[in-house]
Structure 1
Amino acid sequence: MDSAMKEFEHLVVKLEEVISATDNFNDAKIIGKGGFGNVYEGEVSQQRRKTKAAFKRLDRKHGQGDPQFWKEVMMLSRYTHENLISLLGYCNEGGEMILVYEHASNGSLDRHLHSTTLTWTQRIRICLDAAKGLCYLHEDKDNNRVLHRDIKCSNILLDKNWKAKVSDMGLAKVGPANQFTFLITDNIVGTLGYIDPMYMRMGFLTKESDVYSFGVVLFEVLCGRLCFDYSKAHSGNIVHIWKQRYEENKLDEIMFKDDLVQALDQSSLEIFSKIAFQCLEESREKRPKMSDVVEKLEIALKSQELVDLQKDYQEIVKAAVSPLIYRSAEELKLLLSKGVLLDGGKTAISPYNSFYYVILMDGSSFHEFQV
């Protein structure tokens, strides 16, 4: 491991700094727990300034050890993307093994699935961000690609702006990009409920295994809950129930019941649910590539954003002297930015300093109102 340590020595964080940042691993600093161990928040020195960070402390009793630790260091230092969590450093000193990440202040996606404040537009955007991160891993990089192998909501982190970042690369594998079957193994890894059934049965791992896991995440976001149900009516994984309801055209029976449904664009829902279902196809050949998932989620997001904007400005659109012709939220914003005459020319709406003002024309004077 000496060679690895030399390659990544620029990422070394002293144990003294970690102890100081976490108040000696004070329980009050814990912001998460997982298969690796506890995660603490604190500040780390970066380029002569303090940066808020998350410190993941290895606890060997959870079953993970040196291989996963160094895999995480290697993966997140070699593969960087705006939708992958950034590794700020690591500590391997005094019997402690600690990974230092950028701080995602809104925590993991699983904590927000049932949130009534997370809009449908935000949900699509979060899924799109995560899809872009996974798509980047699957891309051909010097004839290699990366499989994550543990895609799930708890491994999708959200920063202060709700941008999603894929995390936890400790189980990731790198292999030839031109090889369909990535790995044949008896040692199945991942999280039950998210693991590709074909991978479970045959031990054949491909990039489509990640696609399946992501399909489960999409349905969790749609339904506002995790894929497990231990109630009296069900036992364990309920993904098969979600798939069945989709095929029966009964999404309303499983969707998150809230005001979100009222604000949901039907076209957006159809695109989102269709790509989610396709990700869960039994046959790997029928599952989409992550680049296709990104494309469909972008279309779903644009459709939803247009509906949101129309609701915000519906009175203006209805009262415009000339019909406003647009096909996207961007086109509507452009039309509004140029100014619009309303009510037979008696009123105008005009932009100024990122705000819109209604101007009432009554002869020689006018009045401005911010909307």
Structure 2
Amino acid sequence: MDSFSKEFEHLFIKLEDIKSATNNFVEKKVIGGGGFGKVYKGEVSHYKGRSMVAFKRLDRKFGQGDTEFWKEIMMLSRYTHENLISLLGYCNEGGEMILVYELASNGSLDRHLSSTTLTWTQRIKICLDAARGLSYLHEDKGNHQRVIHRDIKSSNILLDENWNSKVSDMGLARIGPANQQYTAFITNIVGTPGYLDPVYLDMGILTKESDVYSFGVVLFEVLCGRLCFEKCNGGFLNLVPTWKKSCKLNKIDKLIFKDSNMKNMDPTSMVAFTDIAFRCLNKSREKRPLMADVVEKLEIALKSQEPVDLVPKTYEEIGKAVVPPLIYRSIEELKVLLSKGVLLNGGKTVINYSAGSFLFNYFFIFLRNGKFGFIKC
């Protein structure tokens, strides 16, 4: 352990500095908690400078200990990516074991699943960021090794002030060879019920596809606006089988989180998102996608959605371009006015909403059966 500590001595932060930053771990400094213990907020100096950080303080009654503590330090020091939480330091003195991270001021994703302020675009972007972080862990980084996270869930995806997401909590991770199709471990089962790969749960066989399954559960949580389990008769009911069944029966509309910010979902975006989420949950690990494939499909979902988000602005631009300008009290009222047809460009251009065309950045956007296409104006 002495040689291990020496490798990471640049990360060491004195206990007295942490106590000063947290007012000796006063309760009002607590910003969260989990399977490791309470998380506190405070400002401290570290090897990158001085900033507001998150202090994760080990509480042994939750079951985690030295192994997870040192593994977290090792993993986050050796594997860095913009979509992995950054480790800024640690403390191991005075009977305390504390990890110091960059501050993710918007907390964990599980707290925002039912948010009425997050748009569909923001939800896709959060998932895409996390997928990129997990894909980085799975890929060969030139050392013929890959990392299997083992505890992917929405509470382990953190959100910074700009809603960029970062995968966290590497204390249960395993390192395996990346120069073979499947990296498999026969191991004790760890993780969180509801997110666990059924193959891993039943047989104790851990592969990178186990992470893919868990991430598929997170994708459905984001789509449905709820956690993958609910309390039932003193226990917990796993909702994943119900979600999968709804997809098979083509009843995904009944699952989608019903909120005003989700109404403008582009059908192509929704299908791309749902399809990759469903594939992640395949019972057969061989039929699950690689995380690189998940990233690609989420990028398609995001690109399909972005033009839809701009449409309301387009309505308003058209309304202002009409002479005399149209008078309306809402976007819906403007649509009604446009459906009657208006003249632009001194009477040279006719726009009719009922025909499904919109003037937008020198392009017409045609709506045909819920899909957008573009042609030069």
TM-score, reference length from structure 2: 0.83
User: For residues 7 and 186 of structure 1, do their structure 2 counterparts lie closer, same or farther at Cα, with a shift above 3 Å needed?
Assistant: closer
Q: What residue in structure 2 maps to residue 205 of structure 1?
A: 206
Q: Distance in 1 between matches of 2:294 and 2:245?
A: 21
> 2:74 is matched with which residue?
74
1:296 pairs with 2:300: no
Structure 1 residue 265: Cα displacement:
1.0
SS of structure 2 residue aligned to 1:52: strand
SS in 1 for 2:312: helix
Matched, 1:36 2:36: yes
Q: Structure 2 vs 1, CA of residues 184 and 240 (structure 1 numbering), >3 Å: closer, same or farther?
A: same
Question: How far has the Cα of 1:230 moved from its partner?
Answer: 2.0
Partner of 2:361: none
Instruction: Summarize deviations over 1:192-242 as a string: whole Å, max 9, x none.
Output: 111100111122111111000000000000000000022469952110000
| 1:24 equivalent in structure 2 | 24
With the length of structure 1 as denominator, give the TM-score of the two structures. Answer: 0.84
Q: Distance in 2 between the 1:251 and 1:214 partners? A: 18
Q: Secondary structure of 1:313's partner?
A: helix
Cα pair 2:46 2:89 within 8 Å, conserved? no
Whether 1:62 aligns to 2:62 is: yes
Q: Distance in 2 between matches of 1:270 and 1:233?
A: 36
Q: Residues 57, 143 of structure 1: CA spacing in aligned structure 2 closer, same or farther, 3 A cutoff?
A: same
| Structure 2 CA distance for partners of 1:48 and 1:80, relative to 1, 3 Å | closer
* Structure 2 partner of 1:157: 158
**Distance of aligned partners of 1:48 and 1:294 in 2 relative to their CA distance in 1, 3 Å threshold:** closer
Q: Which residue of the partner structure matches residue 127 of structure 1? A: 127
SS at match of 1:277: helix
Partner of 1:329: none
**Conserved? CA contact 1:21–1:44, under 8 Å:** yes
Aligned to 1:52: 52
Whole-angstrom CA distance in 2 between matches of 1:12 and 1:293: 37
Distance 1:56 1:234 in 2: 29
Q: Which amino acid aligns with 1:190?
A: G
* Alpha-carbon shift at residue 252 of structure 1 (Å): 1.9
CA displacement, residues 298-324 of structure 1 (integer Å, 9 cap, x when unaligned): 110111111101222234369989xxx
Say if 1:318 and 1:136 are closer, same or farther in 2 by CA, change over 3 A.
farther
Deviation at 1:255, TM superposition (A): 1.4
Distance in 2 of aligned mates of 1:49 and 1:233: 48
Flag the 1:229–1:160 CA change in 2: closer, same or farther, 3 A: same
Distance 1:31 1:41 in 2: 6
Query: Deviation string for 1:12-42 (max 9, x for gaps)?
Result: 0000100001110111111011000000000
Is the 2:47–2:88 contact (alpha carbons within 8 Å) kept by the matching residues of 1? no
Partner of 2:137: 137
Alignment of 1:199-278 (within 5 A): 199-231=200-232, 235-278=236-279
> Which residue is 1:194 aligned to?
195
User: What per-residue deviation string (whole Å, max 9, x for no partner) do you get for residues 262-299 of structure 1?
Assistant: 12111110000000000000011111100010001011
* Structure 2 residue matching 1:230: 3-state secondary structure: strand
The separation in 2 between residues aligned to 1:128 and 1:320, in whole angstroms, is 37
Q: For residues 163 and 77 of structure 1, what CA distance do their matches in structure 2 show?
A: 20
Q: Structure 2: which 5+ runs fail to align?
A: 323-342, 349-377
The one-character-per-residue Cα deviations of 1:43-81 (angstroms, maximum 9, x if unpaired) are 111468530100000111111100100000000010000
Amino acid at match of 2:126: I
Residue correspondences, number: 327
Q: 2:96 — aligned with what? A: 96
Amino acid at match of 1:251: I
